[in-house]
Structures are given as C-alpha cells and as structure tokens.
Amino acid sequence: MTSRLTMIIPLTEKRSWMQLLKQCAIGCAAIAALTFVAYRLHFPLATAGFMYLLVVVAASLFYGIWQAIFISLVAVSCLNFFFVPPIWTFIVSDSRDWIALISFQLCALLVSRLSSRESGIARDANYQRIQMKKLYELSRGTLLFDLHHPPGSQLVQLIRRIFQANDVAIFDANTVLLNHEGTWSTEEQQIAKTTYLTDHNEDDHDTHTTQRVIRIGNKSIGAMAIRGEVDPLIANSIASLAAIAFERQRSYEKEASAENAKQAEQLRVAVLDALAHAFKTPLTAICTASSGLLEMGTLDKTESELADLINEESINLNQLCTRLLQTAKLEASSVSLRTEPVIISRLVKDVLAELSGTLKQHPIELSIEEQETPLQGDRELLTMILTQYLDNAAKYSAPDAPIDIAVRESTSELLLSVHNQGSLIQMQDRERIFERFYRSSDAKERAPGAGVGLSIVKKAAEAYHGHVWVTSAEQDGTTFFLSIPKIQMGGY
C-alpha cells in the first residue's frame, strides 16, 4: 500500500505543475493576441494597459493569484516593449512612463489579490454549502434506517455513497460488530476498532484516512474510519450523526422491550386472575366437604387426621388464590383505595386475634405510638400487609421467639415494623424477596411457600405511594418495614 501511495503522490504533483504551466501559457497567449491587435490598431498605452488588466483579472478569477502575477509581469513587459517609447526596446526614457508601468503592475497585483480572495471565499462558501447538503442528506437518511437491526451496516453504505469515500468502517462497541465498505484489507478493517480502544481521533493526511471516536456525551460507544477526501470538521459532524443513529436505535430497542414486557405482564396477570377464579369454586367445595366430614364425627383417628390435613391444605390453597387475585388487581391498577378512619392499635389487635392460631407459640410485644386522630386509610390493605408480615415472622423465626410490632406516626408518615429473630436474609436477597415467586435458598429450606405474599405487600404499598424494605443481621434479627405518607393517604 505504501509503494502505491508513493507512486500516486508524485503523479498528482506532476499533474498540478502541468496544469499550472498550461494556465500560464493560456494567459500569455491571450496577452500576445491582445498585443497584436492593439499594436496593429495603434492603441495608446492607457487603452492597451486596460485590456491587459482585464486579462490579469480573468486569470486571477479562474486560475489563481500566482498565475495572475506571472501574466501581469508578461503584460508589463509587452507594454514596455511595444507601447512605451522608445518601442521595440525595454528602455523607458520618460519618468511618467515608469509611473504608468509601476501603477499598472501594482493595480494588477491589487485587483488580482482582491479578486482571488473573493473567488476563494466564494469557493469556500460553495464547498460549505455542498458539505452541509451532504450532512443534511446523511441525517435524513439515518431517519429511514430499519431500527430492528443495528445501524452500523446501514451507516457505512450511506456515508460512502454520500461523501464518495473510498472506504468506510464503523465499530459498534455495544454489539462488538465491525461493519465496513470498500477495499479495506483485513488489517485495515481493524482501524475503527483500534480507534475505539485507544479513544483517540486522528487524521492521516498521507493516506487520506480520518478516524473518529463515536461518543454520546462523554461515553464512547464506537468508532469510525473513513478513507477519502473528507474535511476533519465534517468528519466530526458525521461522527455526531452516527452517534445519534446508534442512540436512536437503542432507544427503540428499549421501548420495544418495555412494550413487550408490559404486554407479557398484562397477559400473565390475566392468566393468574383466571386461574385463581377457576380454583376458587372447587376449593370451596373441598373445604366444605372436609369440614363436613370432621363435623360428622364418624371417622376413625387416621381418617380424621387425613380429613383435617385436606381441610388445612385446602384453606392454605384458598388463601394463596386470594393473594393471587389481590396481586392481579394491584398490578392491573384496578384496585381503588377505600379510605375510612382507622385506629391503628385496634387494627393491630384485630389482626393478632385472627392469627392467634398461627402466633400461639410466639410472644407478641407491641410498641404503638398512636395519635389521637384516626388515620385515614384502606383498612383491608393495611390488614393484608400486617397479616403477611406477621405470617412471615411466625414461619421463619425459631419456636417461642418473640415477635415485636412497632408503629410510629409523624405528621407526614406512618411507619410500621415487624421484628423477629429469624434466619439471616442475605444482602443480595433483600430487594428480590419482594418480587413475585422469588424465594431465597434459606427460605426454601426453612418453610414452604410460593413467594407471593411479599410481592402483594409491595404492590399494596405502591398503591399507597409508600415503600417497603427489610433489614437483617445475625445478632439483631430481621425487621420488615412499611412506610406510608399520611398526606397521600388523606388525599384519597
């Protein structure tokens, strides 16, 4: 590749010199033609000088300042030789002719400089306009990308077509894909990846290769390499547009994933609701039948134990279905809080009375700081939360271990906690135990369960705009908390 470049560069320089000589020759030919006409028609010095000045200005506009300077020198020589006495010589006898020739030369140089500068400004403006048009076309093209696929392959094709680049390569750090178009060799294709790894922009003028890191803010998400005549500032804009294309595609992926998850969650909630309702009828019949058998008193000891087991497990299963129905309602946001005056101490005592059988082996210690005014809240949801906390405390604590219930009220919130000396809940499990169907390995070994109860507690707290959490330590035991903003509760 290096030898190929060394051959191309001298050839380009040779062509530029040949073009320069050709332009100078054309200008000299124009001066010669004007000299012939002016001399044959006996034009005075001023008229001939004006005609030469027009040629010099035209050369400055179409060719460049250096060509115009050379042609102006030829024009001054012709003026001196053919129109300044004594003619046919380069001698100037009159000082006024010297002033005329010098004025012509200075005027030609000044006008050539001004016209060349204006021409350069016009060329730059036209170049910028063309580049802006290309950038606009690139930005418009990125809006038509297929967002179901990574944009790398689409970008390299679009950039190469619009900017007429020889080679384009883009490395996507998220998918670790390297897309390329052109005549890159296997080693050259890695330029984009190397640019990302080194996190460094570079412009190689020898090989006409531009390398840019693609960033979103301060984060590098990829890199690109372009081989061709691309301005460094335009390359920066291309990298920015590429970053926008990558971010747009990833935002689309996140939105699609969230929508799919939402639809899956809605389907799951509907299935749970349907199953729970379908289970309710046969479970009610089983509970009624098992209770009837026990009431009849005609069963022997073994049969009574089996009927009692059927009755107990059917009640547990019925409670699980109830929890699933409550979860479905909470997750579907179909639950409406029915606020009423609630005296917390009385609610706690009612729940303890209902769970007297479950909690009979555990001493209960109450610590309730209740204000005089009743709390405005949904009694059913508060009862469900406290019941679940107490049920967990009874299942996962040692026999005869005390259970502490504490209620603290402030002007802004209600804080309820249930403490027990149970097994340690690992740090990585303290958030996940509030997810539905999740159970830690320790919990599975200590007590049966479906992993539904705490997820209902979390959903119920969220319905109150509150939150739940747990603390656990080897020496201090485990404490479940519920925090509910009282202002929100009073607003329902």
Q: pLDDT tens per residue, the chain (492 residues)?
A: 333 333 333 444 455 778 878 887 887 888 888 888 888 888 887 787 778 777 877 777 777 777 777 877 787 788 777 877 777 777 766 666 666 666 666 666 776 676 667 777 777 888 888 888 888 898 888 888 888 888 888 999 999 899 888 899 999 888 888 888 888 787 777 888 888 888 889 888 888 888 999 998 888 889 999 988 888 888 899 999 888 888 888 888 888 877 776 676 666 656 666 666 566 667 777 777 777 777 777 777 787 778 778 877 777 777 666 666 666 555 555 556 677 888 888 888 888 888 877 777 788 888 887 665 677 777 878 888 888 888 888 888 877 888 899 988 877 788 889 998 877 888 888 888 888 767 666 655 555 555 667 877 888 788 778 888 888 888 888 899 998 887 444 444
- The 3-state secondary structure of 216-238 reads ECCEEEEEEEEECCCCHHHHHHH
pLDDT of residue 370: 65
Q: And the tokens for 395?
A: 């299942």
How far apart CA 159 and CA 356 sit, in angstroms, is 75
CATH of the structural domain 257-331, one choice from 2.20.25, 1.10.287, 1.10.4160, 2.40.480: 1.10.287
pLDDT of residue 329: 58
Q: Which CATH superfamily is domain 339-491 in?
A: Histidine kinase-like ATPase, C-terminal domain (3.30.565.10)
Q: Are 389 and 456 in contact (CB under 8 A)?
A: no
Q: Are 304 and 317 in contact (CB under 8 A)?
A: no
Domain ranges of the chain: 2-137, 148-251, 257-331, 339-491
Return the axis-axis angle of helices 232-296 and 95-142, rounded to nearest 10°.
10
Q: Are 404 and 419 in contact (CB under 8 A)?
A: yes
How far apart CA 487 and CA 485 sit, in angstroms, is 6
Q: Are 219 and 172 in contact (CB under 8 A)?
A: no
113-119: Cβ within 8 A, 24+ apart: 113/60, 113/65, 115/57, 115/60, 115/61, 115/68, 116/60, 116/61, 116/64, 116/65, 116/68, 119/60, 119/61
Give pTM, 2 decimals.
0.45
pLDDT of residue 92: 67
Comparing 148-251 with 339-491, is the CATH topology the same? no
* CATH of segment(s) 148-251: 3.30.450.40
